Amino acid sequence: MEVNTIKSHVNAADLPLEQLATNHALTEPSKIEELSRQFEAVLLRQILSEGQKTVFKTKYADDSTASQIYRDMTVQQLADSISRSGAFGLAGTLSKDLTRQLPKP
């Protein structure tokens, strides 16, 4: 009896962070690349959310819970989009530096 194995392509960006390191279908450089991108996204989220804080409280600013949730979701999506585009550049630099430190086969 012959069993056909289906080899599927695993995309590092589709895996949760907890499963990324233990996935044997991914190469070490692809794991490092995705972890670097996710680190960049976290840093961008912090920068963008700090930039949105108002210095002066006004009666025109909406401080409702719904508004805060919407702002948080917007910041998260914007940070992920910037990180995926590679425009910020931190993930690429970090990935290159960490990949260079991998042991040679």
Q: What is the 3-state secondary structure (H, E, C) of the chain?
A: CCCCCCCCCCCHHHCCHHHHCCCCCCCHHHHHHHHHHHHHHHHHHHHHHHHHCCCCCCCCCCCCHHHHHHHHHHHHHHHHHHHHHCCCCHHHHHHHHHHHCCCCC
Overall number of domains in the chain: 1
Q: How far apart are the first and last CA of the chain?
A: 36
Task: Report the share of the chain in percent with pLDDT over 90.
Answer: 47
Residue 7 lies in a domain: no
pLDDT band, very low/low/confident/very high, at 7 (cuts 50, 70, 90):
very low
pLDDT given at position 81? 95
Residue 74 lies in a domain: yes
Residue 9 lies in a domain: no
Residue 36 lies in a domain: yes
Residue 6 lies in a domain: no
Q: State which residues form the domain around 65.
A: 16-53+61-100
